[in-house]
Structure 1
Amino acid sequence: MELTLFLFVAALTLVVAVAALSVGARRLLGLRIGKVRAALTGLVAMGVSGLIGAAMGEARRGALISVQLGLTVLAAVVFLALSEVLVPSGSLAGMVRWPQALRRRVARTRRYAQLSRIAMRHGLGGALRGRGRGGPEAARERTQLAASVRVALEEAGATFVKLGQVLSTRYDLLPGEFVEELTKLQHQVAADSWEEVERVLTEELGKEPAAFFAEFDHVPLAAGSIAQVHRARLATGEDVVVKVQRPGARPVVDRDLDILFRMSRKMEEHTSWGRDFGALDLAEGFATSLNEELDFRIEARNMATIRAAAGRAEAVSTVKMPLVYEELSSRRVLVLECLTGVPLNAAAGAAIDERGLDRTELARQLLECVLEQIMIGGVFHADPHPGNIMLLDDGGLGLIDFGSVGRIDRVLRAALRNLLLAIHRSDPVALSDALLELVDRREEIDEIRLERALGRFMARHLTPGVRPDREMFADLFLLVARHGLTVPPEIAATFRALATLEGAMEQLVPGFDIVAEARSFAAAQLERKLSPKSIGQVLSEEALALAPMLRRLPRRVERITNALEHGRLGVQVRLLADERDRRFVRSLVHDVLLTFLGGVTGLIGVLLLGTDHGPALNESLTLFQLIGYNLLVVSCVLVIRVVFGIFKAQRRPPGRW
């Protein structure tokens, strides 16, 4: 019985000591740790305490008990700090999942090797190592290299094809030869079998497809890298098209995006040009857009948003968008109204003329539709290429595939409208002001120099008789980059949509002046806003917004005049009003104070150890020396706390294990 009680008390004491040491070390270092690390910290500290006690011996153990306790705490702090450095929080939880991580690493390595073989096969090795010719041969080499890059991206797969399509409008990042080649990117893939499509439909709808569809064409109308489209008929009799995601699309995209993030992070860390154009931000924006394409529910919401915005804005465009059957749609299946017609890229020009359709009117309707989405609704089709535009049997146009959309807020929409109006008036000063509202500044710029450059730009590209083309967009983006400005992703997506739309315009009306029509659209929108009805609506909205402030204004004016009359008017300026500033100052003062205390404590401890005076505790130890030993332990703890705090500030916030 006595042995059992002794073991129970010993175990309880050990648990309390381990918990106290782990909690103390955690608080000294300012960490949040899990149970595994806390137990290891306490056990290691208790083991070190036993070794220290044995080394001290019987003669000095009683007098140096405080030093032994201090060294035990120091051991706990040192172990916890080293364990966090060598095995960061979350690592052990990741080790539990090491088989999956190993498989992902092997798959990523294979993909790296495959991409490297593709690059080498198309002669991109020298370009990746930064080698290239100068002088007269440079332009020809860039042209050849751009063609090789395009073919390599097509061979690399859907993710890299879409990345190339995004880069095809970044005139500020790539030379003209690359932009021209990347606009030709296409990716042809074989269709999945009906068994795989049926399996996806059953998983998403919860029943066999026959429960919802009276007919379902097993041969797809189109097959893309992410999804394929089938014609079907509902049990209720409506003709629909069904967009079904490929079963292996998500793993392939996730793997390729992981590789892109790693590559962009390396470029931004080790190259100046990667930092200049924000490689990591570009990859993040691209990943967000691609992940949205993989969730068809987002596409359904995009269509509903665009249709609702068009209804609120009383849009004049007659371009049709298919209705969504939301009850049959899910993350991987999208059921849409079937628009009867042919894609614009498959419609022969003679057939359009034989039907008596007005090409110019069709082009104008299409442009007005996209401009209304951009300038009024704020959500727009980001990929209006001829394959996504339908020439309907009734002679109208339809817009399909809203997986890729752009979003632009009200401030940027107003700046873009001012930009078009400045171009319409041929006003370089207004164009400069509108451009500065659109772009991001990284440094102070010479606005006078920018205005002169924009004046030369307008004289070259926007004079009567000169038709704007891709070269105009390239010159504008280069001008922006040359003056230390960066184009936000939203505006880049807008220009990409308009540049893509230009291809459809060319098929309808060769030589269609998209810029002139956009200028006219902006001017017409301004006239609509200046109508008596619109002005009255705007004034009423502003008056409602200002009403609460106007009610409080008389009382505030009276208080100010009374204070001025009695000489009590003053201005209060609050330093460090932002909580982030106060937190930074507190952290700085805290670290400086701990460093100072640690240094002073250590110095005093060394001085006390060097003196032989003071009350003797035993034959070889005085009270001053005992105090010196304890002060050295305290100094070591403080120094480790400061050093670890600096290390932790350089890292991301740790997790727990």
Structure 2
Amino acid sequence: MDWFGSAITAVLGTLLLSGVASRPLQLDFSVSRRLAAGAVAFGAAVPIMEAITPAAVTAILAPFPVLWYVLLGGMLATLLAMVLLVLAEVLVPSGSLPGPVALVRSLPGRRSRARRFAAITRILLRRGLAAYVFTRQRPDLATPEGRTRLARSVRAALEDAGVSFVKLGQILATRPDLLPPEFVDELTHLQSRARPVPWSAVETVIRTELGADPATVFSRIDPEPLATASIAQVHTATLLDGGDVVLKVQRPGIAPVVADDMEILSRLARRLERRASWAARLGVVALVEGFAASLREELDFRVERRNLAAIDPGPAAVVRTPAVYAQHSTARLLVLERIHGRPVTEAPPRLRPRFAHALLEALLTQIMVGGRFHADPHPGNILYTDTPDGAGQLVWLDLGSVGVLDAGLRASLVRLLVAVDGGDASDVRDVLLEIADAPDTLDERRLGRDLGRFVARFTASGGGTDPAVFVDLVRILADHGVTAPPELAAVFRAIGTLDGTLTALDPGFDLVTEARRYATTRLTAGTDPDDLRRRLTTEAVLLLPMLRRLPHRVDRIVGALEAGTLTVRVDPRAGHLARPAAGVVGQLVTSALAAATGLMAALLLTAPTGPEVGPGLALNGLLGYLLLMVAAVLGLRALVRSYRS
């Protein structure tokens, strides 16, 4: 039964070490890590101890074998287990790998992502882009011709990779502040190729989302799609009460593909940010995370349903949105009123100038007042419908992707347009620096001069009809290292897209001039006496509690000044730097103590003399070994905390 006793001892020793080893490090480790470290440390402690222990120590402790194993063996095993935990944390940080249960559950998804990653890698190899992702080679970025060739390869690769990558490219095409002009021009031609989904698969999705036979809701569904897209497919249908509707049905299996693509994109972004300075400067990881959040919203049709309810369509007599049948709509099925109409560019010529003004007013109102705006107002997303009075009406379609602006950014946009219209470069610079993120090394004087030249060109030409002037503004910011927020890029993209629609309606329509006039009207609207009175009343109500406390606080300050007892206390632990600062200070103190203790141990171990506590063992040596272990514990604690921070 010796093997049984040895097994019990090993199990108990492993459990004891797994519970004790992590305590000196003052950090939590997973149970599996602690058990593995305890088992290895227990198995290796005894032979290591026998190999390194001096004969003098063995002679002293020979009458006390239990003390021998508990004291020296326990200390050595604990230290070894701590070393193993620290090495595991350095090589494989906690949280970087899933636990055993999570690993088993994630195997199907991992296989799917591996296949998808292999397919994307083949696309990169076929298009000659693998070197840019997996190595540091950048041979084609130095010349315009090289960038043009590379941009064509990128566009082709994105189209080959599918819906997620095509949509990413379409978003990047709206960011001239991030990409060279050659890439922006090429990516604007991206098109997603979507084949129709068989009716049987579409019917299965409809049945699943309704939770019942479609015949209980619809008297007829046309199996031929009215339109196909990369994420959804549209079919016409008739409700049991005779109402005409359209069904926007999510393509079967698209959600897992998008999820895999987002995981792969995140990994590629992290790799690029580590390997390329330009990727780190542009923040590609944050860009991909924002894109992933936007795409996940687009996959949830409930978001589009809320957008339809929340967005301001514009002048009620001219522009509206389709009605939503919320009782039949779900995350993958959207039931909308069917609009019998034609593209807006086919509206009667006599109505087109009126529609152009109404559309611009609608979009600018959405941007500067409501804060939610149609992000893709191309002619296919705006329908013209006849009305009995002959005035006609426009209908916004496809509100799955909308831009969102907070109140501060909306107000800044109004001030920006007014500042550009006024021709004051310093005002333009001040507003832009409120909106964008500027580096610490920004040369504001040089930025002001560049903006002055921009404003001079803008005002000299009377504004022109080309909204690309806003793109030029964003590029000036990029040249100075100023990063425009994505919301601002979305606004300029929407305005640029609408400009094509307005030009098709009314070739003489001047979008920029009308936008400047609208912004000036919005800014001066707040000077109405009634509006000012309401705003002042609101501000007074909010300030009243503070004003009532102010005299008492002023009296206390004056009293303290008279008595000479006024003091100012600054708590270095407070504020947003509290935890990082405390962590850094703690690591510095721990590292200093480890170094000092280790130095003391080395001095004691090298001391030639000292009182003997046994044959061949001096007190200096014993204290030196103990201090050496303390130094090791402190050093390991500082090391593992540096990798956890």
Q: How many residues align?
A: 628
| CA displacement at 1:492 relative to structure 2 | 0.9
**Residue in structure 2 matched with residue 223 of structure 1 by the alignment:** 228
**Residue in structure 2 matched with residue 41 of structure 1 by the alignment:** 37
Q: Is the counterpart of residue 628 in structure 1 residue 636 in structure 2?
A: no
Which of these residues, 194, 202, 207, is aligned with residue 212 of structure 2?
207
After TM superposition, list the pairs within 5 Å mapping 1:571-590 onto structure 2.
Answer: 571-578=567-574, 581-590=577-586
| CA displacement at 1:408 relative to structure 2 | 0.9
* One-letter identity of the residue aligned with 1:558: D
Q: Distance in 2 between matches of 1:215 and 1:600?
A: 84
| CA displacement at 1:12 relative to structure 2 | 8.4
**Residue in structure 2 matched with residue 188 of structure 1 by the alignment:** 193
| Contact 2:158/2:165, CA 8 A, preserved across alignment | yes
Q: Distance in 2 between matches of 1:261 and 1:133?
A: 23
| CA displacement at 1:608 relative to structure 2 | 3.9
**Residue in structure 2 matched with residue 29 of structure 1 by the alignment:** 25
Q: Distance in 2 between matches of 1:588 and 1:12?
A: 43
Q: Output one character per residue of 1:328-372: Cα deviation in whole Å (capped at 9) or x when no partner.
A: 11111111122221233xx53xx623xxx4211101111111111
After TM superposition, list the pairs within 5 Å mapping 1:232-381 onto structure 2.
Answer: 232-307=237-312, 318-344=318-344, 347-348=345-346, 352-353=348-349, 357-381=350-374
Summarize the Cα distance change of 1:603–1:547 in structure 2 as closer, same or farther, 3 Å threshold. closer
| Contact 2:319/2:396, CA 8 A, preserved across alignment | yes
CA RMSD of aligned residues (A): 3.3
Q: Is the counterpart of residue 162 in structure 1 residue 167 in structure 2?
A: yes
Q: Distance in 2 between matches of 1:550 and 1:556?
A: 10
The farther-off stretch of 148-157 and 260-269 is 148-157
**Residue in structure 2 matched with residue 653 of structure 1 by the alignment:** none
Aligned partner of residue 363 in structure 1, secondary structure: helix
Which of these residues, 172, 178, 185, is aligned with residue 183 of structure 2?
178
Q: Distance in 2 between matches of 1:76 and 1:148?
A: 52
After TM superposition, list the pairs within 5 Å mapping 1:52-201 onto structure 2.
Answer: 59-62=59-62, 65=68, 66-90=71-95, 91=97, 92-93=99-100, 95-97=103-105, 99-100=107-108, 102-120=110-128, 129-132=137-140, 146-147=151-152, 149-201=154-206
Q: Output one character per residue of 1:573-618: Cα deviation in whole Å (capped at 9) or x when no partner.
A: 4141525544444434433333343334334434444557556554
Q: Is the counterpart of residue 416 in structure 1 residue 413 in structure 2?
A: yes
Q: Distance in 1 between matches of 2:129 and 2:436?
A: 39
Which of these residues, 365, 370, 390, is aligned with residue 383 of structure 2?
390
The farther-off stretch of 452-461 and 371-380 is 452-461
* One-letter identity of the residue aligned with 1:322: P
Gaps of 5+ in 1: 650-657
Q: Distance in 2 between matches of 1:393 and 1:147?
A: 43
**Residue in structure 2 matched with residue 508 of structure 1 by the alignment:** 505
**Residue in structure 2 matched with residue 652 of structure 1 by the alignment:** none
Q: Output one character per residue of 1:119-141: Cα deviation in whole Å (capped at 9) or x when no partner.
A: 2499999x99533497xxx5566
| CA displacement at 1:104 relative to structure 2 | 3.2
Summarize the Cα distance change of 1:257–1:583 in structure 2 as closer, same or farther, 3 Å threshold. closer
| Contact 1:594/1:638, CA 8 A, preserved across alignment | yes
Q: Distance in 2 between matches of 1:508 and 1:472?
A: 21
| CA displacement at 1:464 relative to structure 2 | 4.8
Identity of aligned residues (%): 43
**Residue in structure 2 matched with residue 645 of structure 1 by the alignment:** 641
Q: Distance in 1 between matches of 2:236 and 2:308?
A: 20
Aligned partner of residue 29 in structure 1, secondary structure: coil
* One-letter identity of the residue aligned with 1:467: G
Q: Distance in 2 between matches of 1:123 and 1:352?
A: 54
Aligned partner of residue 230 in structure 2, secondary structure: coil
| CA displacement at 1:188 relative to structure 2 | 3.2
Aligned partner of residue 240 in structure 1, secondary structure: strand
Q: Distance in 1 between matches of 2:41 and 2:144?
A: 68
* One-letter identity of the residue aligned with 1:627: L
Which of these residues, 521, 527, 532, is aligned with residue 529 of structure 2?
532
* One-letter identity of the residue aligned with 1:259: I
| CA displacement at 1:266 relative to structure 2 | 2.4
* One-letter identity of the residue aligned with 1:333: L
Task: Pick 1 or 2: higher relative contact order, CA cutoff 8 A, min separation 6.
Answer: 1
Aligned partner of residue 460 in structure 2, secondary structure: coil
Q: Distance in 1 between matches of 2:228 and 2:607?
A: 87
Q: Output one character per residue of 1:416-471: Cα deviation in whole Å (capped at 9) or x when no partner.
A: 00011122323323222222222111124343433332232122233355523254
Aligned partner of residue 245 in structure 2, secondary structure: strand
| CA displacement at 1:191 relative to structure 2 | 1.0
Q: Distance in 1 between matches of 2:85 and 2:149?
A: 57
Q: Is the counterpart of residue 480 in structure 1 residue 506 in structure 2?
A: no
Which of these residues, 587, 593, 598, is aligned with residue 594 of structure 2?
598
The farther-off stretch of 202-211 and 247-256 is 247-256
Aligned partner of residue 550 in structure 1, secondary structure: helix
Aligned partner of residue 403 in structure 2, secondary structure: strand
| Contact 2:471/2:492, CA 8 A, preserved across alignment | no
| Contact 1:176/1:474, CA 8 A, preserved across alignment | no
Q: Distance in 2 between matches of 1:254 and 1:389?
A: 31
| CA displacement at 1:283 relative to structure 2 | 1.5
Summarize the Cα distance change of 1:468–1:428 in structure 2 as closer, same or farther, 3 Å threshold. farther
Aligned partner of residue 215 in structure 1, secondary structure: strand
Gaps of 5+ in 2: none
Aligned partner of residue 311 in structure 2, secondary structure: helix
Q: Is the counterpart of residue 405 in structure 1 residue 402 in structure 2?
A: yes
Q: Distance in 2 between matches of 1:83 and 1:300?
A: 49
Aligned partner of residue 440 in structure 1, secondary structure: coil
Summarize the Cα distance change of 1:386–1:31 in structure 2 as closer, same or farther, 3 Å threshold. same
Q: Distance in 2 between matches of 1:610 and 1:149?
A: 65
Q: TM-score, normalised by structure 2?
A: 0.88
Summarize the Cα distance change of 1:95–1:316 in structure 2 as closer, same or farther, 3 Å threshold. closer
* One-letter identity of the residue aligned with 1:196: A
Summarize the Cα distance change of 1:621–1:170 in structure 2 as closer, same or farther, 3 Å threshold. same
The farther-off stretch of 332-341 and 169-178 is 169-178
| Contact 1:605/1:627, CA 8 A, preserved across alignment | yes
The farther-off stretch of 284-293 and 629-638 is 629-638
**Residue in structure 2 matched with residue 453 of structure 1 by the alignment:** 450
Q: Is the counterpart of residue 425 in structure 1 residue 418 in structure 2?
A: no
Q: Distance in 1 between matches of 2:402 and 2:308?
A: 9
| CA displacement at 1:638 relative to structure 2 | 2.4
* One-letter identity of the residue aligned with 1:372: T
Q: Distance in 2 between matches of 1:493 and 1:154?
A: 22
| CA displacement at 1:98 relative to structure 2 | 6.6
* One-letter identity of the residue aligned with 2:594: G
| CA displacement at 1:376 relative to structure 2 | 0.5
Q: Distance in 2 between matches of 1:99 and 1:270?
A: 29
Summarize the Cα distance change of 1:24–1:170 in structure 2 as closer, same or farther, 3 Å threshold. same
Q: Output one character per residue of 1:219-258: Cα deviation in whole Å (capped at 9) or x when no partner.
A: 1111000001111122233221111000121122223223
Q: Distance in 1 between matches of 2:610 and 2:151?
A: 83
Aligned partner of residue 172 in structure 1, secondary structure: coil
| CA displacement at 1:415 relative to structure 2 | 0.6
Summarize the Cα distance change of 1:450–1:593 in structure 2 as closer, same or farther, 3 Å threshold. closer
Q: Output one character per residue of 1:179-238: Cα deviation in whole Å (capped at 9) or x when no partner.
A: 333333322322111111111111111112111112211111110000011111222332
Q: Distance in 2 between matches of 1:607 and 1:182?
A: 68
| Contact 1:388/1:401, CA 8 A, preserved across alignment | yes
* One-letter identity of the residue aligned with 1:399: W
| CA displacement at 1:553 relative to structure 2 | 2.3
Aligned partner of residue 395 in structure 2, secondary structure: strand
Q: Distance in 2 between matches of 1:556 and 1:624?
A: 63
Q: Output one character per residue of 1:501-546: Cα deviation in whole Å (capped at 9) or x when no partner.
A: 1121122112421111111111222232222222222122112211
Q: Output one character per residue of 1:266-320: Cα deviation in whole Å (capped at 9) or x when no partner.
A: 222222222232222221221111111011111112222224xx7xxx9677311
